[in-house]
Every structure is written in structure tokens, then in C-alpha cells.
Amino acid sequence: MVLMAENTDIKKQHDRIFEEEFLPQIDALYTFAYHLTYNEDDANDLVQETYLKAYRFIDSYHEGTNAKAWLFRILKNAFINQYRKKSKQPTKVDYEEIINYHDEEDSQYSSYLDLREEMFQGMMGDEVTTAINALPVDFRVVILLCDIEGFTYEEIAKIIDIPIGTVRSRLHRARNMLKERLKTYAQSLGYKDKRK
């Protein structure tokens, strides 16, 4: 009897944390999920999986701390697992190889890009959107977390589990890759191509 009452209290407490701290993050989580998958069904699945996992492990969440960063970390891990299953390829990318290869042979650079790029060519007229979509996922993630969600470098480091220095260099490279892919726009702003 006492145990049942205790369980009811715990359930109430968990539900309150869920309602007050987790649920308000759903718009940001959905935006992030959508820009990772570019598919509404996949984004729905990811967000749902994130919330169910968060609830299952709610005891490891410290009430009143950074719920948004905690949920984003769960979503990112769920995405990586899903992405690995789908692509049957490791998600780790050799960044040095990308940059060096790109510098050597521009036309073959696309072979290193996210395989889903093909899907967008011809589907979206907006070259900027296409360029963002075509960023390798690890680079797209830091752009989304920093520029769209406003996380600090330290928070991003915790969410994607990499050193803060790597966050800094990944952001720098991600933005350079975007500029590279948006030369026409960049040149209209007065940028000079410094890489040739």
C-alpha cells in the first residue's frame, strides 16, 4: 500500500518535470530533428524516441538544470544510431581528408558529401538551403546548434561529446564549407576566394 502511494508520487513528480521542463523544448527539438533528417516522418520518430528515452531515464536528469541541452544530447544519439542503421556506414568522417581532398580536387569533393544530397538537387531551388543540406552531418549539427539554437561552445561540446576546441574548429570549417558552396552569394557580399 505504502509502495503504491510512493510510486504514484514518483509518477506525479516525473510527469510534472516532463510537462514543465521537457515539453516546452519540443519546437526546438523538432526543428533540429527535421534539419538532420529532412523527412517529416523521420523527424517525428526521432522526437518521439527522444521523449520516451528522456522519460525512461528521467532519474538521471537533475531538475532545474539544462533540460534543453540534455534532450538535444539524447536526440543526437538517437539520430546517430538511426543514421548508422540506415547508411550501414560509420558516421565518423576524417575531416582532414575532406579538407585536403577538397583542396586538391574540387570536382570529386561531392563524393564525400552526405549521400542524401542527390535527393535535394532539383527538388529545392534555393541554393543556400541546398548547401546547408549538403553539409556533412557533423558539420551541419554544429551550425544548427550554434546558429539556430544559440547553444554555447561548451554546451555543444557536451551535447555532441567532443572537446570544445573541436567545436570551434568544426564551426570554422563548416562556415568555410558553406562559403565555398555559396561563392556567388559570398562574392556579391565582397568576399574574396582565399583558397585558390
Partner 1 sequence: HRRKPSLIQSIKKI
Question: For residues 119 and 148, which CB has a smaller minimum distance to partner 1 in the complex?
Answer: 148
177, burial (CB in 10 Å: exposed 0-12, middle 13-18, buried 19+):
buried
Question: For residues 50 and 182, which CB has a smaller minimum distance to partner 1 in the complex?
Answer: 50
Distance of closest approach, residue 55 Cβ to partner 1, in angstroms: 5
Distance of closest approach, residue 154 Cβ to partner 1, in angstroms: 24
* Cα→Cα distances 87→79, 81, 116, 179, Å: 12, 10, 10, 27
Distance of closest approach, residue 148 Cβ to partner 1, in angstroms: 8
Question: For residues 31 and 176, which CB has a smaller minimum distance to partner 1 in the complex?
Answer: 31
Question: For residues 41 and 104, which CB has a smaller minimum distance to partner 1 in the complex?
Answer: 41
Vertex 142, ends 18 and 152: CA angle to 5°?
Answer: 65
Residues of this chain that interact with partner 1 (CB under 8 A) are 15, 18, 23, 26-27, 29-31, 34-35, 43-44, 47-48, 51-52, 55, 148
Distance of closest approach, residue 48 Cβ to partner 1, in angstroms: 6
Distance of closest approach, residue 168 Cβ to partner 1, in angstroms: 25
Question: For residues 79 and 98, which CB has a smaller minimum distance to partner 1 in the complex?
Answer: 79
